[in-house]
Amino acid sequence: MEEREAGACYREGQRHVAERGRAMGQREAEPWRRERQSHGGQRGRGVGQREAEAWDRERPRRGTERGRGVGQREAEAWDRERPRRGTERGRGVGLREAEAWDRERPRRGTERGRGVGQREAEAWDRERPRRGTERGRGVGQREAEAWDRERQRRGTERGRGVGQREAEAWDRERPRRGTERGRGVGQREAEAWDRERPRRGTERGRGVGLREAEAWDRERPRRGTERGRGVGQREAEAWDRERPRRGTERGRGVGQREAEAWD
């Protein structure tokens, strides 16, 4: 009796194998696969394959090209979990992973005007919008502009390279006195310096050196000298206003008035 039951069980098992084309161990592995839900995988393979797929889901690969079979579909699920911003998502896994790495470590001061870097740079620009700049250029240009904002360039022409703007910043940090800077950046820096230290009684439409000389005249006004030209003339007039002369005819040159004051 027991032999007949065992034979029936054996025949039942053989019938299932004949119908379903799989071994008993295969059928046992199927509930385990359902429990761990290897979704998106190719389910017609062996248990080891499905376990490897589950291992891929647990530890998704980064920076590797998995554009075949299970890895590709897993990468797509990973993309859905971590959606990429400003990127073209129709490519392989390695490219999308590289884009995520770019987002984590955005590059500064480098020209990334190709492929993923370009789009990432645009997203970085959206995060840190630039003020008063022409944004149609490469990443390095926009990064240099951000560097300008960090170090606050005033009164400078910002349409040049980074080195030019750095030189301008160096001028602002150490403004020059008594030098003729009537070209390019120096001119504009001198104008900003004039705004910081406004000159009295001077004609400010000339070069930097002239205005610096005027400031030097104000700091050390000259006495007893004939200064009837340019800056000295106006300084002498201001000096006359500060120390008005008594009983003198003031319609003459500076030397005349100074001589009268000395008298």
Write down the pLDDT at residue 5. 73
Residue 148 confidence (pLDDT) above 70:
no
| Sign of the dihedral through C-alpha 216, 221, 223, 229 | positive
Indicate the pLDDT class of residue 157, thresholds 50, 70 and 90. Answer: very low
Per-residue burial over 187-226, b if 16 or more Cβ lie within 10 Å, else e, is ebbbeebbeeeebeebeeeeebbbbbbbbebbeeeeeeee
Higher pLDDT: 72 or 251? It is 72
**Residue 134, helix vs strand vs coil:** coil
Q: Residue type at 246? A: R
Count of H-run helices and E-run strands, the chain: 12, 0
**Pick from 91, 58, 57: nearest CA to 71:** 57
Under DSSP, the state recorded for 82 is S
pLDDT at residue 7 tops 70:
yes
**Rounded average pLDDT over 16-45:** 50
Residues 6+ apart with CB under 8 A from 229: none
Average pLDDT, the chain: 54
Return phi, psi of residue 252, to 5°.
-105, -170
pTM above 0.75, yes or no: no
Provide the CB-side half-sphere exposure for 158 (13 A, CA).
21
pLDDT surpassing 50 at residue 89 = no
Q: Give the residue with greater pLDDT, 227 vs 121.
A: 121
Task: Write the pLDDT tens digit of every residue in 166-191.
Answer: 666 555 555 444 444 434 455 556 66
Q: pLDDT band at 234, cuts 50/70/90? A: low
